[in-house]
Amino acid sequence: MRNVDAAGLGIGDDHPPRIMGVLNVSEESPYDPSVYDDPGEAAEYVDEELIGEGADIVDVGLESANKDLEVLSAEQELERLDTAVETLESTAGDAVWSIETRYHEVADEALSRGFDMVNDICGFADPEMPRVCREHDAAVSKMASPPDLERPGAIEDVDEIYEALSRNGFTDKTILDPAFGGWSEAKTHADDRETFHRLREFRGYGRPLLVSINRKSFLKTIAGRTTEEALPVSLAATAMAVERGAHVIRTHDVAETSDAALVGAEFTRDRARTGRAGT
């Protein structure tokens, strides 16, 4: 398993599970507790609720990836980048800063202005994204997606996730995300559950895995919970995900998720294969 160095933060089998906390500067994002348009208030949230509670990485979203909303252009995302950069510059705590985007222009500008890594929700559908990340020597999370900048995560057959993760190749610092959630109308809760069941398969590329399962519907419906009630099922799944090989957990609930990830790590099987007994 390749380990990734994300601005000095080690990610992979040789390191503890890492927690990615979420900040949105997109007014249309659905989860209100993480949404801020004032850099000062956003920085306070990051210091207290994310870094203060144990986040290793702060992932900043410039737009909602909700499939029912209009996709912003690179130019529109760039207009929101100032708020993200001002937040970064106003934050006292220490963390790796990730920019969530699908556009290489936005990634290039963000990395030039202080961000450390990229969370590409369209999985290199922009073929220039790997080049930009290499030039900045930046880690990049690559989500399984079609080769379409308007359809992040919309892989509608679980058997196609592995192929989608390899589309347009990898950088030396690529982290893989198999894409949980309702990214398309055709993707069902059963599909997400099958993806979770098969999570270990996606370690086959020998690269770290990121999962974003916090309060997702495929977990909520198991226990009949609303989003507000879904923290317990998210934590149960977090421990299982880490035990199955996940290295980064993206979440809105940092402190609780960190504890669940540590439980998963404690009971993770030895992943080193040294050959069959007696050989």
Average pLDDT in the chain:
92
Of 126-130, 155-159, 219-223, 241-245, where does mean pLDDT reach its minimum?
A: 155-159
Tell me what pLDDT residue 269 has.
Answer: 75
Tell me whether residue 217 is in a domain: no
Confidence of residue 71 (pLDDT cuts 50, 70, 90): confident
Q: Give percent above pLDDT 70 in the chain.
A: 92
Tell me what pLDDT residue 20 has.
Answer: 98
Sign of the dihedral defined by the CA atoms of residues 113, 115, 119, 125, in that order: positive
Angle at the Cα of 168 from the Cα atoms of 124 and 82, rounded to 5 degrees? 20
For residues 165 and 13, give the distance between their C-alpha atoms in angstroms, rounded to a whole number: 19
Give mean pLDDT, residues 153-164.
92
Contact 164, 146 (CB under 8 A): yes
Tell me what pLDDT residue 271 has.
Answer: 56
Confidence of residue 34 (pLDDT cuts 50, 70, 90): confident
Confidence of residue 264 (pLDDT cuts 50, 70, 90): very high
Tell me what pLDDT residue 279 has.
Answer: 28
pLDDT over 70 (residue 79):
yes
For residues 119 and 59, give the distance between their C-alpha atoms in angstroms, rounded to a whole number: 8
Tell me whether residue 24 is in a domain: yes
Structurally, how many domains does the chain consist of?
Answer: 1
Number of Cβ within a 10 Å radius of residue 2: 15
Angle at the Cα of 153 from the Cα atoms of 224 and 2, rounded to 5 degrees? 105
For residues 84 and 82, give the distance between their C-alpha atoms in angstroms, rounded to a whole number: 5
Axis-axis angle for helices 189-197, 231-243 (nearest 10): 40
**In which domain, by residue range, is 179 found?**
4-212
Contact 1, 250 (CB under 8 A): no
Tell me whether residue 243 is in a domain: no
Domain containing residue 13: CATH number: 3.20.20.20
Confidence of residue 31 (pLDDT cuts 50, 70, 90): low
Of 39-43, 193-197, 263-267, 273-277, where does mean pLDDT reach its minimum?
A: 273-277
Query: What do you get for the CA distance between the two ends of the chain, in Å?
Result: 23
Q: What is the per-residue DSSP string for 223-235?
A: HT--TTT-HHHHH
Tell me what pLDDT residue 68 has.
Answer: 67
Confidence of residue 66 (pLDDT cuts 50, 70, 90): low
Nearest to 269 by CA among 211, 198, 200: 200
Confidence of residue 56 (pLDDT cuts 50, 70, 90): very high
Number of Cβ within a 10 Å radius of residue 180: 27
Question: What are the tens digits of pLDDT across the range 91-143?
Answer: 999 999 999 999 999 999 999 999 999 999 999 999 999 999 999 999 999 99
Tell me whether residue 133 is in a domain: yes
Tell me what pLDDT residue 67 has.
Answer: 64
Tell me what pLDDT residue 212 has.
Answer: 96
Angle at the Cα of 127 from the Cα atoms of 125 and 132, rounded to 5 degrees? 115
Tell me whether residue 205 is in a domain: yes
Q: Which two tokens stand for residue 69?
A: 């909303």
Q: Which two tokens stand for residue 156?
A: 């509608």
Tell me whether residue 231 is in a domain: no
Tell me whether residue 105 is in a domain: yes
Tell me whether residue 12 is in a domain: yes
